Amino acid sequence: MKRHLVALTAAAVLGAAATPAFAESLSIPYQDLNLATAEGQKTLDLRIEKAVRDFCAMNPRTGSRIISGESRQCYAEMKKQVQTQFAAIVDRQRLGG
For 7, 51, 52, 58, 59, the CA distances from 62, given in Å and listed in that order, are: 29, 20, 20, 12, 9
Enter the pTM of the model. 0.69
Q: Give me the tens of pLDDT residue by residue for the chain, a chain 97 residues long.
A: 334 444 443 333 434 344 334 357 888 999 999 888 899 999 999 999 999 999 998 876 667 778 888 999 999 999 999 999 999 988 888 777 6
CA proximity to 82, closest of 1, 5, 17: 5
